[in-house]
Amino acid sequence: MIEIFRNMWRRKFRSFLTIFGIAIGIFAFTVMGSMALKFNKMIDGGKRYITGQISISPKGTSYTGGAGSATLPLNTMNEIANVDGVDKVGALVQLNVEEPNPDEASFSMGPMPTIYGMDYNSDYKNRNWETMDMKEGEMVGKGDADNVVAVGINIATDKKLEVGDTWTIRGKDFKVKGILEKTMTGPDDYVFMAITPARQMLIDSNPFLKSLQEQADKASQISDDSLAALPAATRDQIKQAKMFNVEDINSMAGVSWKNGFDNEKVSQEIKNKFGDKVIVLSPQKMGEQIDKASATFNAVIFGSAILALIVGLFSVVNTMVMSISERTKEIGIKKAIGASPGSIAREYTFEAGVIGLIGGLVGLGLGYIMIVIVNARMASQGAEIFLVDRNFFIEVVVFAFIIGMIAGVIPALRASKLKVVDAIREL
Amino acid sequence: MEKIVARAKGIKKSYRMSKRNIVHALQGVDIEIREGDFSAIVGPSGCGKSTLMHILGLLDRPDEGHLEIDGVDMSRLKEKKAYRMRAKKIGFIFQGFNLIPTLTAYENVLLAGKYGGLRGSERKSRAKELLEILGLKDRMNHKPNELSGGQQQRVAIARALMNDPALILADEPTGELDSKTSLEIMDILIKLNREQNKTFLIVTHNMEVANTCKKIIRLKDGKNAK
C-alpha cells in the first residue's frame, strides 16, 4: 500500500493531474446524481399521488391541470359520481400563491408555491395519499372555516410561518392551522385551504371569469317578472348570465374508485361517457407517462455524468500505461526474483484503483461542498435541488475505486505479460 | 561427489533480430554445476554468457537442449510455472544492483521473501538477519538512492539469499563498482560459499574476478571453449 503512495509521489504532477481528471468526473457524477435522485423522489411522490386517483380536468386546460380558465361543471362531476365503480369525486381549485410577475421572474428549479383548494364536503380522498403527516398543528378539513390554511414545509420556511400566524394571500388574510411534514415532493409547496376562497381568488385573477361573475351578479338582481318585460334578445343574454354558477369553476377533480374495481376500467367508463366534456387521466397511463419522462431525464443526467467519468477513466488508463512503461525495469526485476504474473497484475490494478479512490474522494468532497452550498441558498426559496443521500455517496466512492481498477486492468495485464528478458535488457 | 544443482546439455538459442538477421547466441553449450561450486563463466562480449545465464535462471527458454535445476527437468517449463521456480531455486545478483527504487533496503529484501512464500514473521526476521550479516543493520530503512554502490549490491546479495536458493547467479556483480568495493563484494560471496556452502555462478569478463573463482567455464562464439 505504502509503495503505491511512494510511486504516486514519484510523479507528483502527473498523479495530481490524473486524480484531478477522475475527481472532475466524480464531481459531475455526484452533483448530477444527487439532482437526479431529488428529481426522482419528487417524481415518485407525484406518481404516487397521480396513480391514487383518476384525474379529471376540463377540456382546454394544460395536461398537468394547473390554473386553466376552463371550467369543470358541477353537474358533470355529479354525473361522474354516478358512474359504476366511482366512489367519490372531489373538486379542486389550483392556482399560484402569487401572481407570476414576468418583470421579477427568477429562474426556479423547484415547483411554484400553489394554492390547493379542496372541497371538504365531498369526502373524497386520494387512494394513495389519504392523510398528510403534520409537523405542527393540524391539517385543514371538514368543519374548518374558509380563512384557515395548512401549508407545506417549504412555504412555512420561506414565509417564516408558524401555527397560529396570519398570512395574507392575494389580499386575503388566512390563519395557519398546520404545517406539513417534509414530503420532498409537491405538497411541500402547497397551501391547502377550502375550495370557496381558492375559487374566488381564481375568479379574481382571471378577467374573463371575473366579468362573467359580475354579469351574473347584476343579472340576479333582475327579477323574473321584470325579465319578462324585456326584449327577447336582451332577455336571453340575461338568462345566460344568470346561468353562471360559481361552483362550476374548478381546476380539476380527483375521482376515487370503489374497492374491487379496476381503475383502468372505471377511467375508460368515464372517458366513454364524458370524453367530449373532460379529459380523463387514468392512473395507470399517467404512471407510465411519468416513468417515461423520468427515464429520459435520468438517461440525460446519468449519460452526461458517465461521459465525464469515461474521460477520467481514460486519463487513468493513460497514466497507468505511462507508469508501467517507465517501470518496465522494475517489473522485470520483480519477475526475475519470483513475482507471479498474477501478483504483478494485481499490484498495478490495485494501484489504479487507489488513484480512482483518491480521485473519487476528492470529487465527492467537491461535489458535496457544492451541493450543500447550493441547497442552502435554494432552501430559502424552498427549492432544494439536490438530495443529500449518504448511501449514494458511499456508492460513488466505491464506484470510483472500481472505475480505477477497470482502467488499470488492461495496463496491468500488459505489465504481467512483459517478457522478463526484454524487461531486464533495459537495464 | 556433490549433488548436481544445475545441468545443461546441448543448449541452443537463437534470436531473430530481423527477417534476415538471426543471431545464434548459443550453439550447443554443456554445463554442470554442483552444490558448493563457485564458478565463473568468462568469454568475450557476444559469446553468449548473458543468454546462458538467462536460461539457467529460467528467465528465458532454450530452443533446444536439456536443462535440469535441482533435479527437476526445466526444458519444457512454461512461464506460468517458471516464476515459482525462480522465486525458490534461483537467486539473482545483477550488475546494476536492480533494487526497487521506491522500497527501502529492508523492504527490497522482504519482497523476495514474499514471492518465495515465506510467512510474515519468518520473512521479517530473516530479512533483518541477512541485512545484519551483510553489515547493513543501520542502513535498513534507507532507499537505494541513499546507499552507496557497494551497499546497494550488499542489499541485492541479501535479497538473493532470502529464499535460500539452490543456485545464485551473478551477472557482472562488480561491473559498476570501483576495485576496492569490488574486492569487498567478492569477499562476501567467497565467504558465503565457504562458510554456508552456497553455490555461485558468476558471469564476468573481468579476469581478476574470475581468478578468485574455484572453476572457470570459458565460452566462445556460443560454444564451450576448449
- A39 and A171 belong to one structural domain: no
If asked whether residues A184 and A89 sit together in one domain, one would say: yes
For residue A271, give its domain range.
60-209+245-276
A230, A329, B21, B37, B55 from B17: Cα distances, Å: 117, 21, 6, 35, 18
Q: Are residues A185 and A316 in the same domain?
A: no
Same domain flag for A83 and A122:
yes
Q: Rounded mean pLDDT of chain A?
A: 84
Name residues whose C-beta falls within 8 Å of residue A288's C-beta, 6 or more positions apart in sequence: none
The nearest alpha carbon in chain A to B165 belongs to A337
Given a cut of 70, is residue B129 above it in pLDDT?
Answer: yes
Alpha helices by DSSP H, A206-282: 207-221, 224-229, 232-242, 263-274
Which residue carries 390554511 as its cell?
A149
Using 50, 70 and 90 to split pLDDT, how confident is the model at A67? Answer: very low
Lowest mean pLDDT among A54-68, A179-193, A318-332, B196-210: A54-68
Q: Is A424 on the interface with B (CB under 8 A)?
A: yes
Taking the alpha carbons at both ends of chain B, their separation in whole angstroms is 24
Nearest to B98 among A3, A339, A427 (CB): A427
Cα separations (Å) of A292 from A50, A56, A156, A287, A416? 15, 21, 33, 9, 47
Whether residues A270 and A330 share a domain: the answer is: no
Query: Are residues A202 and A89 both part of a single domain?
Result: yes
Look up cell 550453439; give the residue: B27
DSSP assignment of A67-131? S-S----HHHHHHHHTSTTEEEEEEEEEEESS---GGG----SSPPPEEEEE-GGG---BTTBS-
Q: Which residue of A has its CA nearest to B101?
A: A330
- Which grid cell sits at A405? 481498477
Across A384-394, average pLDDT: 89
Binary contact (B83, A424; C-beta < 8 A):
no
The pLDDT tens digits for A322-369 are: 888 888 888 888 998 889 989 999 988 999 999 999 999 999 999 999
- pLDDT tens for A152-185 read 888 888 888 888 888 888 888 999 999 988 877 7
Q: Taking 60 as the threshold, does the pLDDT of residue A108 lie above it?
A: no
Contact A329 B54 (CB under 8 A): no
Into how many domains does chain A fold? 2
- What is the CB neighbour count within 10 angstroms for residue B114? 18
For B47, the domain range is 38-62+76-224
Joined together, the cell numbers standing for residue A283 give: 392512473
| B82 within a domain of the structure (yes/no) | yes
B44-59 mean pLDDT: 87
Is A427–B57 a contact, with Cβ atoms under 8 angstroms apart? no
Q: What is the mean pLDDT of residues A79-91?
A: 88
Q: Find the CATH number of the domain harbouring B172.
A: 3.40.50.300
Give the CA distances from residue A98 to residues A95, A155, A170, A175, A201, in Å, rounded to whole numbers and listed in that order. 9, 12, 7, 17, 11
- Which chain A residue shows the shortest CA-CA distance from B85? A338
Residue with cell 573463482: B213
> Which residue did the predictor score with more confidence, A125 or B41?
B41
Highest mean pLDDT among A320-329, A376-385, B58-67: B58-67
Which residues are registered as beta bridge partners of A217?
none
Q: CA-to-CA distance for B101 and B99, rounded, in angstroms?
A: 6
Q: Do B84 and A7 touch (CB under 8 A)?
A: no
How far A361 CA lies from chain B's nearest CA (Å)? 25
pLDDT (tens digit, 9 = 90+) per residue, A279-312? 888 888 888 888 888 888 888 888 888 888 888 8
Q: Is residue A240 part of a domain?
A: no
The reply to whether residue A337 touches residue B94, judged by beta carbons under 8 angstroms, is no
Question: Is B222 in contact with B26 (CB distance < 8 Å)?
Answer: yes
Judged against a pLDDT cut of 70, whether residue A64 lies above it is answered with no
Q: B167-171 and B90-93 as β-strands: parallel, antiparallel, unpaired?
A: parallel
The amino acid at residue B193 is N
DSSP H or E segment with residue A55: strand A54-58
Q: How far apart are CA B204 and CA B177, in angstroms?
A: 13
CA A306/CA A275 separation, integer angstroms: 45
Q: Quick check: B130 and B109 in contact, CB under 8 A?
A: yes
What is the per-residue pLDDT across B159-203, written as a single tens digit (0 to 9) for each? 999 999 999 999 889 888 898 899 899 999 999 999 999 999 999
Residue B29 lies in a domain: no
Q: Per-residue pLDDT for A66 more than 50?
A: no
Residue B6 in domain = no
Residues A265 and A121 in one domain: yes
Radius of gyration from C-alpha coordinates of chain A: 32
pLDDT above 90: residue A218:
no
Q: Which of residues 39-98 of B touch A (CB under 8 A)?
A: 54, 57, 59-60, 79-80, 83-84, 86-88, 92, 94-96, 98
For the record, the C-alpha cell of B11 comes out as 543448449
> Tell me, what's the pLDDT at A110?
60
Q: How far is B60 from chain A (nearest CA, A)?
A: 6
Q: Of A334, A339, A421, which is closest to B59 when you measure between CB atoms?
A: A421
CB contact under 8 A, A427 and B95: yes
Q: How far apart are CA B160 and CA B154, in angstroms?
A: 10
Cβ atoms within 10 Å of A301's Cβ, excluding its own: 20
The answer to whether the CB atoms of A339 and B80 lie below 8 A apart is no
User: Collapsing DSSP states into helix, strand and coil, what is residue A253?
Assistant: strand
DSSP code string of A132-201: --EEEE----TT--TTEEEE-HHHHHHHT--TT-EEEETTEEEEEEEEEPP-SSGGGGEEEEEHHHHHHH
Picking from A5, A337, A346, A420 by the largest number of B CB atoms within 10 A of its own CB, the best residue to mutate is A337
Q: Report strand pairing: A252-257 vs A54-58.
A: antiparallel
What would the DSSP string read from start to end of B100-131?
-TTS-HHHHHHHHHHHTT--HHHHHHHHHHHH
Half-sphere exposure of A84 (CA within 13 A, CB side): 7
C-beta of residue A198 within 8 angstroms of C-beta of residue A93: yes
Q: Is residue B4 part of a domain?
A: no
Kind of pairing between the strands at B215-220 and B223-224: antiparallel
A217 located within any domain: no
Computed over every residue of chain B, the mean pLDDT equals 89
Q: Give per-residue pLDDT as tens, A310-325.
A: 888 888 888 888 888 8
For A57, A220, A246, A336, B10, the CA distances from A203, given in Å and listed in that order, are 17, 18, 9, 88, 107
* A99 and A18, same domain (yes or no): no
Residue A222 in domain: no
Count of structural domains, chain B: 1
Residues A93 and A149 grouped into a single domain:
yes
- Give the A:B interface size as CB pairs under 8 Å: 63
More confident residue, B92 or A128: B92
A183 with A264, same domain? Answer: yes
User: Could you tell me the pLDDT band of residue A105, with boundaries at 50, 70 and 90?
Assistant: low
For residues B145-169, average pLDDT = 93
pLDDT digit string, tens, across residues B23-37: 888 898 999 999 999
Do the domain assignments include residue A168? yes
* Cα distance between residue A330 and residue A297, in whole Å: 48
Is the Cβ of A10 closer than 8 Å to some Cβ of chain B? yes
**Whether B59 and A424 lie within 8 Å, measured CB to CB:** yes
> With bands split at pLDDT 50, 70 and 90, how would you rate the model's confidence at A192?
very high
Residue A174: the pLDDT is 92
Whether residues A132 and A9 fall in one domain: no
State the smallest CA–CA distance between residue B208 and chain A in angstroms.
24
Q: Which helix (H) or strand (E) holds A257?
A: strand A252-257
Q: How confident is the model at residue A385 (pLDDT cuts 50, 70, 90)?
A: confident
Quote the percentage of chain A above a pLDDT of 70: 93
**Chain B contact for A141, CB < 8 A?**
no
Angstrom distances, CA of residue A122 to CA of A86, A195, A254, A274, B143: 13, 11, 10, 20, 84
Residue among A253, A282, A327 nearest A92 (CA): A253
- The pLDDT, as a whole number, for residue A381 is 63
Kindly state whether residue A214 falls inside one of the protein's structural domains.
no
Query: Could you tell me if residue A143 is inside a domain?
Result: yes
Mean pLDDT of A388-394: 92
| Residue A381: strand pairing partners | none
Does an H or E element contain B186, and which? Answer: helix B179-196
Residue B73: closest CA among B88, B60, B58, B83: B58
Within chain B, strands assigned E span 4-16, 22-34, 38-42, 64-69, 72-73, 90-93, 167-171, 200-203, 215-220, 223-224
User: Is residue A354 domain-resident?
Assistant: yes
Q: Are residues A405 and A354 in the same domain?
A: yes
Q: CA B126, CA A393: separation in Å to the nearest integer?
A: 45
> Long-range contact list for A280-285, CB < 8 A, 24+ apart?
A280/A54, A280/A55, A280/A56, A281/A50, A281/A54, A281/A55, A281/A56, A281/A57, A282/A54, A283/A50, A283/A51, A283/A52, A283/A53, A283/A54, A284/A51
Interval A221-255: pLDDT, tens: 887 778 778 888 888 888 888 778 888 888 888 88
Asked whether the beta carbons of B94 and B87 are under 8 A apart, the reply is no
